[in-house]
Amino acid sequence: MALVSFRGLDPLESLMALQGDLDRLFRNPLAGFDLGPSGAPVFPPLNVFADKEGELVIKAEVPGVDPDKIDIQLEPRRLTLSGERSLPETKGSFHRRERRAGRFARAIQLPEDLDPENATAEFRNGVLTIRVAKRAIARPRRISIKAS
């Protein structure tokens, strides 16, 4: 599978290429993830990537959520994200109300054996990025053939 690479593309072309790639892998049934009830969207929406080193990179969109209010639990084959989103208080009256507040909890079964000890999480611009390496044992090992 080709890595996403934007070399030689202008920013707009890069964005369109990215959108195409994300579209093609939409709810990819071959990915081997068990994400719970299918059909209805669950909060937060997740995108799962592999990086050049074979690490798993999981992105979740959680705009307006205080990072202190997000709990991440990582087991070898399962990631659980939970937390709460609260909306700012206002003295006035609302003309329009589309944003939602409330608690969320989401568990995702991951296909590979991951190394929870070496996971990192970063929160930027309302997107949570979790990077997890695979367990050392799970990484493919080259076996050399001894000449007889």
Q: Which residues bind other proteins (CB under 8 A)?
A: 1-6, 11-12, 14-19, 21-28, 31, 33, 40-52, 56-57, 61-67, 84-85, 87-88, 90-104, 123, 125-127
Pairing of strands 56-61, 70-75: unpaired
Nearest to 79 by CA among 60, 107, 104, 99: 107
Distance of CA 112 to the CA centre of its chain: 14
Considering beta carbons, is residue 102 or 140 the nearer one to other proteins? 102
Smallest gap from Cβ 21 to other proteins, in A, equals 5
β-partners of residue 105 are: 82
CB of 48 to other proteins, least distance (A): 4
Cβ closer to other proteins: 3 or 143? Answer: 3
Q: b/e string for 75-102 if b means 16 or more Cβ within 10 A?
A: eeeebebebebeeeeeeeeeeeeeeeee
| Closer by beta carbon to other proteins, 23 or else 145 | 23
- Least Cβ distance, residue 140 to other proteins (angstroms): 17
